[in-house]
Amino acid sequence: MNEKVELSLRRQHIDSKMKTRLRIYSIIAIILLIFIAYEVSLGTITILLAILGIVVGLIIGSILGRVFRLDWDEQNSKVTGYIDLIGAFLIIMYLIFLLTEIHYLQTDLVLSVFAGVMLGRVLITRHNMTKILKAWKVV
């Protein structure tokens, strides 16, 4: 199937709230990555530490991305998503960890981890949505 047609079908069958959530996460990740690149250029954080933070964040984001339950809404022919109780608990625990560790770690490192988390959540959610669409033979 043509890649443009497949992308159009994906967008057509994704709930608007999910699209908005992914856009917000993507924008946050891009802004944080730009800020981290700026801090690396100033020498505030080493490139190795920034990459390490992003990789750790990608792993955490992938785990957090899996706590969102994605389902197929047959009535509307769309992928929908919501957070279950376990997912909400994990996100709250992560936020508590992030807020308490900010005083002990280098702020730029925390921001690089957070950028990785946002990016990881976007990537794993997109991956899971594509799996659902393929399972229902939409794309």
pLDDT digits (tens, 9 = 90+) for 112-124: 888 898 899 889 9
Would 7 be classed as within a structural domain? no
What DSSP string runs through 37-95?
Answer: HHHHHHTSS-HHHHHHHHHHHHHHHHHHHTTEEEEEETTTTEEEEEE-HHHHHHHHHHH
Would 61 be classed as within a structural domain? yes
What DSSP designation does 106 have? Answer: -
Would 23 be classed as within a structural domain? yes
Domain holding 116, by residue range, is 14-135
Q: How many CB atoms lie within 10 A of CB 2?
A: 7
Please tell me the predicted confidence (pLDDT) of residue 58: 94
pLDDT in tens, 38-91: 989 999 889 999 999 999 999 988 888 777 778 888 888 888 887 666 556 766
Distance, in Å, from the CA atom of 134 to the CA atom of 6, rounded to the nearest integer, reads 10
Please tell me the predicted confidence (pLDDT) of residue 135: 87
Q: Is the CB of residue 38 less than 8 Å from the CB of residue 93? A: no
Handedness of CA 64, 49, 25, 104 (dihedral sign): positive
Average pLDDT rounded to a whole number, residues 16-23: 86
Report if pTM > 0.85. no
Would 91 be classed as within a structural domain? yes
Share of the chain residues as helix, strand and coil, in percent rounded to the nearest 5 = 75, 10, 15
Would 47 be classed as within a structural domain? yes
Domain count, the chain: 1
Please tell me the predicted confidence (pLDDT) of residue 90: 60
pLDDT band, very low/low/confident/very high, at 102 (cuts 50, 70, 90): low
